[in-house]
Structure 1
Amino acid sequence: MSGLLLRLAGPLQSWGERSAFTPVRDTAPFPTRSALIGMFAAAEGIGRNEAIPSRYHDLRLTVRVDRPGVRLTDYHTAGGGFPKDRTPATSGGSNKGAAVITRRHYLADAVFVVAVTAPDETVERLADALTRPHWAPYLGRRACVPDEPFVLRPHVTDPEEELRTRVPLSRTPPRTPHADGQDTETITVEFLTEHPPSTGEPADHPAPADVIDVNDVPVSFAPHGRSHTGRRIHRTQVPVPRSLAGPPHTLLQRLIEYAHPEESA
């Protein structure tokens, strides 16, 4: 088993959780498994009407929340004032020539780093697809384009350990050394894992995890037959080295140096 690392950052993200073609298009507070697997399938050129391949079932996803972002709602209209044949249909299939109104929820200025752990052959295939995608990746909606670098590392031996110890953190350290309740050498960061946090040495032991039940495991992406099953995720606060953070003006350089260590050596 090995893995790859993705950085999901951009002006806007939206990870639909419950709504499907309804007037209110919500967002989960973190990237969903359904959205990430959809991103991988799109990169590999797998259409929505094709069966979800079993090769995605063995993926283990861990999310580090660098910045949770700010929630905002967009009052959105489509069509209106045009003949029926030029107006979008409603979710029920009707079309009266009126504007379709939705309220679309987004996360603004959020940053997540995702560790994808899988068998070596799966990691190699996904890394190749994500660096040369068949369909371009996006952060939940097509209008939400990811920042670069998107693929931080195409292959690492232990991606979860990389999140805890090496991947640059997209935030500044607290001004007061003890403001986050930790020692001066660490910063507390939220992690979302699909397995219970492992116990370690007392100094490295994460806080007790909150258990969350979500319904985001895709069974079908068919436009008129989408279905999902549930999973359980564990949300915990993990201390990471304070050195991973830094002032905003150095972030891009730190990310480039991490993503391309051979060029910065």
Structure 2
Amino acid sequence: MSVLPLVLAGPLQSWGSASRFARRTTENAPTKSGVVGLLAAALGRERTADPTDLAALRFGVRIDQPGVRVRDYQTARHLVTDVSMPVSERFYLADAVFVAAVEGDDELVGALYDAVRSPVFLPYLGRRSCPPSRPLDLGQPVPGPLEDVLRGLPWQAAPWFRRSKRSTPDIALTALLDAQGGTDGDLLRDLPVSFDPRHRRYALRAVTADSVTVRDPDARRERIPDHDPLLALGGD
């Protein structure tokens, strides 16, 4: 089994799991359906293709830079009748950075690595209006398990954000993982069953939260005490 790590960074991201009608919300971290859709697009699959093999990959995401939630209003007109549509609310995460990873069969994960480096369809971070600001891949697939990979990858936050957290060299980050068999977790309806625009379907997925500690690459080394030559003389 191999793990493919990805970095998801951009000016805006939006990862909806319960968006309905005129209110389009976002989760605080990338959804499995959103990342699976990104990978399927990179492979060149049509929306009507069966996503079962990609949905079966074990998924995890680490929140390296949570970003700020912002709201936008959007207007539109009906393509045929030209009638104004209701004003809709769109929510985004601004300046967020995540490390996402999928674990599965070596051959499939290797194909996904090639695809994200040379995608057939351009990737986006939840919505078409949210392009990534960096290359997606963080290097070749590595041996699992998923948890160890998310613990071992360097902190991907922007330099300005790292500077704001420089009170300690060890940084605690939150990781959200597919729950293992028999493990309880929060339920999220983001497991893709069909991306077909005529009948999109998503199943429930159990998610567990974990805390992982990473090293700040810019942290100063521990300061060496000043040398006092008089200490060698002893005395009272």
TM-score by length of 2: 0.82
Identify the residue that residue 116 of structure 1 maps to in structure 2. Answer: 102
Q: RMSD in angstroms over aligned alpha carbons?
A: 2.3
Map 1:29-178 to 2 at 5 A.
29-52=28-51, 54-79=52-77, 87-88=78-79, 95=81, 97-158=83-144, 160-170=147-157, 171-172=161-162, 174-177=165-168
| Partner-residue secondary structure (3-state), 1:41 | helix
The separation in 1 between residues aligned to 2:82 and 2:10, in whole angstroms, is 36
The separation in 2 between residues aligned to 1:212 and 1:117, in whole angstroms, is 20
| Partner-residue secondary structure (3-state), 2:192 | strand
Amino acid across the alignment from 2:6: L
| Count of residues paired in the alignment | 213
* Unaligned segments of structure 1, at least 5 residues: 80-86, 90-94, 178-184, 197-208, 248-265
Amino acid across the alignment from 2:5: L
**Displacement of 1:160:** 3.8
The separation in 1 between residues aligned to 2:124 and 2:71, in whole angstroms, is 19
**Displacement of 1:117:** 1.1
| Partner-residue secondary structure (3-state), 2:28 | coil
Identify the residue that residue 216 of structure 2 maps to in structure 1. Answer: 243
The separation in 2 between residues aligned to 1:44 and 1:166, in whole angstroms, is 25
Residue 55 of structure 2 contacts residue 191 of structure 2 at CA under 8 Å; is this kept in 1? no
**Displacement of 1:99:** 4.3
| Greater Rg by CA | 2
1:187 aligns with 2:185: no
* Unaligned segments of structure 2, at least 5 residues: 221-236
Deviation above 4 Å: which 4+ runs of structure 1? none
Amino acid across the alignment from 1:98: S
**Displacement of 1:38:** 0.8
TM-score by length of 1: 0.73
